[in-house]
């Protein structure tokens, strides 16, 4: 049975009751505090809650699909950028300067740790197909899936504070657009600087995590290349020769791309 009336209503208003089973309809007077009013309010509340729950479920499903799409695009773009890498003469055992970390950094900052880990791990596995250099199964893990996965994790650690900061700036922009235009204040420029600092910190954290795994791989599995040199120094210098330039160029491009994407294609919570 469904109940309906137009609110607000006076005492003694007519409540229309419709029985779905017999398709009958009748009108009865409604008094405030009556059982009929209680039944109507309860049914209305349940209907509103069901509608909200359905909307939230649909939004969550759509968001998951968008995350999967962005992760897939990040992996594909990373693979393309990896083909444009530049290898130094000293990097005889692998490693090159490239922007392959850029798409992983973007998706990690937009979607968080899980998306960054997934994009990094999948690309690292694909990188094994492009440039295989294998001496041990553990070395494969340390040089391919794990470094990029940790880069995605490290970058994604600051995704929440960055998105929160950008959401605050967007709200201020909407509010200021409804008011008289004013020049950028010190507080606004401070927010922009804070956003840039979060991006810098995120990419550096992720890049250092990736660097550490490559250094460990060099110490454990490539000690013979060090000759008479200290194996730790050799591994650090070798891997830093391509990792540090890669981190720097990835950072510079990320500082440009991520804020633009946040405005053009904002992440829906």
Encode pLDDT of 123-179 as tens digits: 999 999 888 888 999 999 999 999 999 999 999 999 999 888 866 555 444 444 445
Whose CA is closest to 30, among 48, 54, 5, 61? 5
Q: What percent of the chain has pLDDT over 70?
A: 67
Strand (E) or helix (H) holding 176? helix 159-177
pLDDT of res. 18: 43
CATH of the domain at 161: 1.10.1760.20
Residue 208 has pLDDT above 70, yes or no: yes
* Residue 238 is assigned to a structural domain of this protein: yes
Identify the weakest region by mean pLDDT among 11-25, 68-82, 88-102. Answer: 11-25
Which tokens go with 233?
């120094």
Residues 18 and 112 in one domain: no
CB count within 10 Å of CB 226 equals 17
Residues 137 and 196 in one domain: yes
Residues 107 and 214 in one domain: yes
Residues 168 and 224 in one domain: yes
Residues 44 and 161 in one domain: no
Residues 11 and 114 in one domain: no
Residues 12 and 81 in one domain: no
Residues 115 and 171 in one domain: yes
Domain span at 248:
66-264
Task: Work out how many domains the chain is built from and give that number.
Answer: 2
More confident position, 14 or 256: 256
Q: Are strands 24-30 and 13-19 parallel, antiparallel or unpaired?
A: antiparallel
Q: Is 32 exposed, middle or buried (0-12, 13-18, 19+ CB in 10 A)?
A: exposed
For 125-245, list the strands marked E by DSSP. none
Encode pLDDT of 182-201 as tens digits: 544 444 555 568 889 999 99
Residues 126 and 208 in one domain: yes
Its pTM stands at 0.73
Strand (E) or helix (H) holding 131? none
Residues 199 and 111 in one domain: yes
Residues 18 and 99 in one domain: no
Residues 16 and 122 in one domain: no
């Amino acid at each position: 049975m469904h109940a309906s009336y137009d609110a607000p209503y006076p005492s003694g208003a007519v409540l229309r009751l419709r029985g779905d089973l017999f398709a009958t309809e009748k009108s009865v007077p409604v008094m405030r505090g009556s059982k009929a009013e209680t039944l109507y309010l309860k049914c209305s509340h349940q209907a509103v809650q069901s509608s909200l729950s359905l909307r939230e479920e649909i939004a969550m499903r759509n968001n998951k699909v968008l995350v999967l799409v962005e992760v897939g695009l990040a992996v594909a773009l990373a693979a393309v950028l990896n083909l444009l890498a530049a290898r130094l003469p000293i990097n005889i055992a692998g490693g090159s300067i490239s922007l392959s970390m850029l798409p992983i950094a973007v998706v990690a900052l937009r979607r968080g740790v899980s998306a960054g880990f997934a994009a990094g791990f999948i690309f690292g596995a694909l990188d094994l197909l492009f440039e295989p250099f294998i001496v041990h199964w553990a070395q494969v893990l340390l040089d391919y899936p794990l470094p990029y996965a940790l880069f995605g994790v490290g970058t994604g650690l600051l995704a929440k504070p960055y998105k929160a900061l950008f959401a605050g700036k967007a709200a201020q922009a909407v509010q200021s657009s409804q008011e008289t235009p004013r020049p950028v204040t010190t507080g606004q420029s401070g927010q922009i600087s804070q956003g840039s600092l979060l991006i810098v910190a995120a990419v550096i954290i992720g890049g250092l995590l990736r660097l550490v795994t490559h250094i460990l791989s060099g110490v454990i599995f490539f000690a013979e290349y060090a000759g008479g040199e200290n194996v730790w120094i050799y591994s650090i210098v070798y891997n830093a020769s391509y990792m540090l330039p890669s981190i720097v160029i990835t950072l510079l491009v990320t500082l440009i791309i991520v804020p633009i994407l946040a405005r053009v294609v904002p992440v829906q919570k």
